[in-house]
Amino acid sequence: MSTLLSEEDLNDFISPALACTKPTVINKEPVNVNDKGEYEVSKEPTELEKVSITLSDCLACSGCITSSEEIMLSRQSYSVFLNDWKKLNDLPADKEDNETVNNKKKILCVSIAPQCRISLADNYDMSIEEFDLCFMNFIKNYFQGKYVVGTQMGRNLTISRTNDKLIALKKEGKLDERPMLSAICPGFVIYTEKTKPNLVPLLLNVKSPQQITGSLLMDSLAEDEQMYHLTLMPCFDKKLEASRPDGENEVHCVITPKEFVSMLEELEVDFNSYRIQDENLFYEMSPEGWDPRIHWSSNSGSSSGGYAYQYILEMQNLNPGTKILEIPGKNSNVVEYRLIDPNDINRGTIASSAELSGFRNIQNMVRNLDRKSIKNNGAKRKIQVLRKRNTSTQMQKLSLSNNSNAINKPLVADPYKTDYIEVNASPGGCINGGGLINNEQSTVRKRALAQELSDKYSKSFNLVDPIKMGRMLDETSKSGSRPYEYEFHAVEQDQEKDLVTVGNTW
Ligand code: SF4
Task: Say how many Å lie between the CA of residue 241 and the centre of ligand 1.
Answer: 11
Is the pLDDT at 66 greater than 60? The verdict is no
The CA-based angle 490-249-100, given to 5 degrees, is 155
Q: Considering the domain boundaries, does residue 193 fall inside one? A: yes
The answer to whether residue 4 sits within a structural domain is no
C-beta of residue 59 within 8 angstroms of C-beta of residue 194 = yes
Q: Is the pLDDT of residue 98 over 60?
A: no
Strands of the sheet with 420-424, listed across from one edge:
180-181, 420-424, 351-357, 334-340, 323-328
Q: How many helices and strands, by DSSP H and E, does the chain display?
A: 17, 11
Residue 494 counted as domain residue: no
Q: Among 237, 251, 438, name the best residue to mutate to test ligand 1's pocket (greatest count of ligand atoms within 8 A of Cβ).
A: 237
**Predicted pLDDT of residue 308:** 98
pLDDT at position 497 is 46
* pLDDT tier for residue 195 given thresholds of 50, 70 and 90: confident
Least confident segment among 156-160, 334-338, 400-404, 427-431:
400-404
- Alpha carbons 505 and 429: distance in angstroms, whole number: 15
The confidence score (pLDDT) of residue 354 equals 98
210 lines ligand 1 (CB under 6 A): no
Tell how far the Cα of 425 is from the centroid of ligand 1, in angstroms. 6
pLDDT of residue 104: 81
Per the domain annotation, does 417 fall within a domain? yes
* Whether pLDDT at 480 is above 90: yes
Ligand 1 midpoint to CA 76 (Å): 17
Does a structural domain hold residue 188?
yes
Look at residue 53 and tell me whether its pLDDT is greater than 80.
no
**C-alpha pair distances (Å), 208 with each of 49, 386, 493:** 44, 35, 26
The residue contributing the CA closest to ligand 1 atom 4 is 426
In a domain, 435, yes or no: yes
- Tell me the per-residue pLDDT of 326-384, one tens digit each, with 9 for 90 and over: 999 999 999 999 999 999 989 999 999 999 999 899 999 999 998 877 664 444 444 44
By residue range, what is the domain housing residue 335? 159-205+302-373+412-476
Q: Judge whether residue 397 has pLDDT over 50.
A: no
Q: What pLDDT is stored for residue 11 in this prediction?
A: 42
235 pLDDT more than 50: yes
Contact present, 236 and 435 (Cβ < 8 Å): yes
The tally of CA atoms less than 13 A away on the side-chain side of residue 128 is 19
Query: What's the pLDDT score for residue 191?
Result: 87
Domain count, the chain: 1
CB-CB contact of 78 with 262 (8 Å): yes
Report if residue 498 sits inside a domain. Answer: no
Does the beta carbon of 327 sit less than 6 angstroms from any atom of ligand 1? no
Q: Which one has a higher pLDDT value, 228 or 386? A: 228
The residue-averaged pLDDT of 256-271 equals: 97
- What is the CA(108)–ligand 1 centre distance, in A? 25
Residue 331 covered by a domain: yes
Specify whether the CB–CB gap between 228 and 107 falls below 8 A: yes
Q: Domain holding 354: CATH number?
A: 3.40.950.10
pLDDT at 311: 98
Q: Which of 123-127, 222-226, 319-323, 376-380 has the lowest mean pLDDT?
A: 376-380
The residue contributing the CA closest to ligand 1 atom 7 is: 185
Q: Which residue CA neighbors atom 6 of ligand 1 most closely? A: 185
Q: Is 257 in the pocket of ligand 1 (CB under 6 A)?
A: no
Tell me what pLDDT residue 489 has.
87
When pLDDT is cut at 50, 70 and 90, the band that residue 1 belongs to is very low
**Ligand 1 contacts CB of residue 213 (under 6 A):** no
**Averaged pLDDT, 29-57:** 59
Is 62 touching ligand 1 by the criterion CB < 6 Å? Answer: yes
